[in-house]
Structure 1
Amino acid sequence: MTSPRPKLAGAAAAAAVAALILAGCSSSSGDDDTLSVWLPPFAAEDAEVGDLELWNGIIAPFEEEHDVDVEVTIVPWESFEERFLTGFSSGDGPDIGYMYAEMIGDYISRGQLATFTVSDEQRETFNFTDLGVYDGGQYGLPMVVGGARVLFYNKAILDDVGVEPPQTWDDLVSASTAVQAAGYDPLLMAWGEPGVGVLAQNYVNFLWQAGGELINEDGTEAAFNSPEGLEAAEFLYDLRFTHGILPESTTALNGADLNAQFAAGNAAFAFGSDPEASTYQDAGIDLGAVVLEQAGRQTFVATDVLVLAESSPHKDLAEDLAWFLLSGPSMDQFAAVAPYAPISSEQTTQADPLFADLYSGESDVLREYPVVPNSANLYTSLYENLQQMLLGSKTPEQALADAELAANESLSRNAQ
């Protein structure tokens, strides 16, 4: 990914609903001979094959076999949540859509998603079907299980300076200070990314590593404004203002620019996820990756799923399409654009060696976001307030308190 799953606030999405309805959301879910699929973009902007061309090519055999037209819509990440909210609210949503955990709870609670049927054979073939079970129903079929957030490091720079790959937060500070003194850029973090997908690697990992949580157990209140959450926020604040490891430009740096800068070979460290590894390796970077540790060692992993609209008039055919999209040949073609870990034994693609152990022997290190209704605003309010903290306009305490207040306005509805 450039990191996938950048998100907008639930509140911002809701505010945009009326305008988007007036503008119209194209969908053909009500057309007798058409199925609609909404997917996010994964291909790089300069890719030889774009997302729409990729999926149209993958789906062509299904269309021919079933004598059906499949209309694929690539929904930009920056408008992803609001487009889905609008589509499902107005009845113009897709038959099959792509959702991440932060979204799906809201749609289940509103009765807008149907469940899939999974056979014993499919459970044996597909590796992660249990990760698509929510509220006791198979509401999702995992399509992307990956994007584990890590700290990448340039081995050549570390060897030149004579420092070991960091294992802890303190190690990161020490190593970054050393490489900076040697004339290298120490650490890249994309705090200027317009969507909040980078929150996972830029803050939530630190929160979890400190022993904190995002949301309380019953999903009614934010839990990040805690001693552990403050420890994580203060660590970021110190990277910027005490140690000078994060430059002022970090709040203007987006994911694409971060990728380009790290691939250019002058930066020692950058946070990211496994699909970016091949980009760096293709650029000639001798790459390493590590999950840091503080009170514990944990990191975010994405489990993104295909969902089936309850309003679809073609549920059986749409379900067949979902399984077709997840089949080995389809996902092998997808992996050429987005090289995630394989989701089934049908695939011939393999996980990047840097991440193979993390997805197998160290899987206890991996954590997903909690599936909680009305939680989207938590992520955006937290991201925006931490951005303000790194701009110097808020203290860590102020940033967390303000983010908590905004998040609880939404989460409190779960207690009603």
Structure 2
Amino acid sequence: MRGFRKIRAWRVVASTVTASALLGLAACGTSGPSTTSSAKGLTMWALTDQTILKESVDAYNKDHPDAKITLQLYANDDYKQKLRVAFGAGKAPDLFFNWGGGALDDYVKAGKVDALTSAQVNTGRFTPSVMQSATFDGKVYGVPANGLAPVVLYYNKKVLKSAGVEPPKTYDELMTAVKKLKGDGVTPISLAANSKWPTLMYLEYLLDRKGGSEVFSKIASGDASAWKDPAVTQANQYLQDLTEAGAFGDNASSVNYDQGASTALLYTGKAGMELMGTWEYANLVKAAPDFAKSDLGYVAFPALSDGAGSPKSIVGNPSNFLSLNSESKHKTEALEYLKDFVLDDSQVDAYLAAGSVPPVNGLESKLAATKSSDKAWLQFVYDLVQNSPGFQLSWDQALPSDQADPLLTNVDKSFLRQIKPKQFGENMSEAAQ
């Protein structure tokens, strides 16, 4: 789980660089090692917190002492911009870490990434719903490189019990829980609204539950008019209803996720629930191990009784990916690394030991045999993904990068009820033109 502890920090980073602009960055300078100047051995870029992924590089280098991978690690706040500049200057690495979705598709459309076949990297071993985030026009452009990260609803067992609340399975039950928890003197749902992307999770789920996956699929495909679908308006209405009911307390807009405040509200008993990705589990285990062991609960996001979407569908981060630079001079070596060292058996075991479920098929026997104290959690996450008909990538990653700023801005405005529910879709439709 260590590999996901900072993944969502990228939600606050927006890009003004589109696929067409990528091709015009040659004059912007360079960053990091050059693939074109390396006489032998691969170059690869990733984030500093990807410790288990780094172990796969170490394993490859042990087997290839004369042509090792040169791994360059970056902090979250620097990485995306450095990658754009490097690609524009022709100095990008052979393999690069990414989030899939619209940002990766920008590079694909710019001709910067090679498609990967099943014969080359054995794509059939990975969870199908995860692969959708790196698949464009029927071709695969990335190999999953770390654990699954769906968004789930965490809850404090003691706080819910004190208020006479059961973990909500429907939106109506969630609203009832909000009223009871508020009446018991606690914040019903912890939310780091200051960071904006945690609020986005609600709209992602509510739209999927209300309209089904087809609505956002149209949006992600470039249909700007789909933002005006009635289901988008209704999703915003549901969010505003929660806000008006006091679901998030009075100070959510001052709470920032990176400071750990929203996490602390849950384990200190000041909040009853929190909607967050699976990386939060590792944060809770580290910050409050006793709470995580005895009082932490988790369920899927509630269903909508009148919704067209499946209550088993999930949203979040299917995985991060490693993609191959189309200008790499070491493609044979890169393909060997992707096929034989990324999420191999040792990597799978390492992720499970860290409390994270890797996106590979056939983990039933490993999960059954694990002696880890995280066993129930691992099984929950695995079943959640395996039983889901769809795994929707977070909107700010699925959409073209130039829509990230207006998306998060309008999410915040909707949360604050500064715009009407219908206006959210109208604003986003205009931004997508």
Q: TM-score range by the shorter chain?
A: 0.7 to 0.9
Contact 1:17 1:85 in 2 (8 A): no
Which residue in the other structure is 2:405 paired with?
Answer: 380
Which residue in the other structure is 2:335 paired with?
Answer: 319
Out of 291, 301, 326, the position equivalent to 2:301 is 291
Worse-superposed segment, 15-24 or 139-148: 15-24
Offset, 1:328: 2.0
Which residue in the other structure is 1:412 paired with?
Answer: none
Out of 381, 396, 403, the position equivalent to 1:355 is 381
Output the amino acid matched with 2:46: L
Q: Map of 1:195-344 to 2, 5 A cutoff? A: 196=197, 198=198, 201-211=201-211, 213-214=215-216, 216=218, 218-221=221-224, 223-240=226-243, 242-255=244-257, 256-280=260-284, 282-284=289-291, 285-294=295-304, 295=307, 296=309, 297=311, 298-303=313-318, 304-323=320-339, 324-336=341-353, 339-343=356-360
SS in 2 for 1:367: strand
Question: Structure 1 length as normaliser, TM-score?
Answer: 0.82
Distance 2:262 2:85 in 1: 32
Which residue in the other structure is 1:84 paired with?
Answer: 83
Deviation per CA, 1:305-341, whole angstroms, max 9, x where unpaired?
2211101111111122223132221343355557134
Output the amino acid matched with 2:381: F
Output the amino acid matched with 2:167: P
Which residue in the other structure is 1:143 paired with?
Answer: 145
Contact 1:40 1:76 in 2 (8 A): yes
Residue 11 of structure 1 pairs with residue 16 of structure 2: yes
SS in 1 for 2:227: coil
Which residue in the other structure is 2:40 paired with?
Answer: 33
Distance 1:373 1:392 in 2: 25
Distance 1:60 1:188 in 2: 39
Offset, 1:388: 2.8
Out of 394, 397, 400, the position equivalent to 2:419 is 394
Offset, 1:21: 6.8
Question: Structure 2 length as normaliser, TM-score?
Answer: 0.79
Q: Percent identity?
A: 20
Deviation per CA, 1:280-329, whole angstroms, max 9, x where unpaired?
35341331222211213232143332211101111111122223132221
Output the amino acid matched with 2:356: P
Output the amino acid matched with 1:60: D
Distance 1:149 1:40 in 2: 21
Contact 2:28 2:88 in 1 (8 A): no
Which residue in the other structure is 2:60 paired with?
Answer: 62
Residue 74 of structure 1 pairs with residue 106 of structure 2: no
Offset, 1:16: 11
Offset, 1:173: 1.6
Structure 2's unaligned 5+ residue stretches are: 368-374
